[in-house]
Amino acid sequence: MTTAHRTRIKICGLTREGDVDQAVEAGADAIGLVLYPRSPRYVSAERAGELARRLPPFVTPVLLFVNASPDEIAAGLTAVPGALLQFHGDELPEACAAPGRPYLRAARMTPGIDLLDLAYRHPGAAGLLLDAHVEGYGGGGKAFDWSLIPANVPCPVVLSGGLNPASVTDGVLRVRPWAVDVSSGVESSKGIKDAGLMRRFCEAVREADGRLTA
């Protein structure tokens, strides 16, 4: 008997209460809050707390940091105590582990990247989030070559980078990740989510899951 795998869904870069509510209604398992001041999707720690308090049980808030100081990370965790952390900059493994919280380590995918070595150097990571290599740190809406992903990554993989309702079904079928992550692919403008796109994105993921277990 085949056990169905349900691909988890993270919608990142939320900035408005209504978008949080609509992401949850669409079926998101997690929402991402960007605490990186140079991002157009930036929210302060206080604002992240306001948005996270709208979440029902079993929807996870994720705090995204880029080369943040320990004080900035601590402020985020004070505002959102139950958050999963996501490190999207050049943080060393010890910096990722220092807060003592579950975390995702983002990998900017380029030819020659050694994901097995990255996983080895981050044994405490809850998973690796695979994103395209763009100027800046994430949110560029660019896809990467999925053939760069080895089959034997020893921890959960979160597929990101240029996903949208039209491409995510193929991504789930080809990569079979633990989860998928989307930001610009469900936006009407930077930081402004589109309820219809979020709904169609989640539906496309469920369609892929159904095809894998048919």
- Residue 112's pLDDT is 84
Q: Per the residue annotation, which of 131, 155, 181, 209 is the catalytic one? A: 131
Query: What does pLDDT average to over the chain?
Result: 93
Write phi, then psi, for 180 (nearest 5 degrees). Answer: -125, 150
Listed in sequence order, the DSSP H helices in the chain are: 17-26, 45-52, 70-79, 93-97, 115-121, 168-175, 195-213
Tell me the domains of the chain and their CATH numbers: 8-213 (3.20.20.70)
49 contacts: CB under 8 Å, gap ≥ 6: 79, 80
How many CB atoms are located within 10 Å of the residue 122 CB?
Answer: 22
How confident is the prediction along the chain (214 residues), in pLDDT tens digits per residue? Answer: 455 789 999 999 999 999 999 999 999 999 999 999 999 999 999 999 999 999 999 999 999 999 999 999 999 999 999 999 999 999 999 999 999 999 999 998 888 889 999 999 999 999 999 998 665 555 556 788 898 898 889 999 999 998 999 999 999 999 999 999 999 999 999 999 999 999 999 999 999 999 998 7
pLDDT for 138 equals 54
Q: CA 104 to CA 212: how far, in whole Å?
A: 25
pTM as predicted? 0.94
131 is catalytic: yes
pLDDT at 33: 98
6 phi, psi to nearest 5 deg: -100, 110
Q: Annotated catalytic, 90?
A: no
Judge whether 33 and 59 are in contact, CB under 8 Å: no
The predicted pLDDT at position 213 comes to 87
User: Is 160 buried (19+), middle (13-18) or exposed (0-12) by CB count in 10 A?
Assistant: buried
Q: Can you say whether the dihedral through the CA atoms of 135, 169, 56, 85 is positive or negative? A: negative
Residue 1's pLDDT is: 44
Looking at residue 134, what is its pLDDT? 61
What pLDDT sits at residue 41? 95
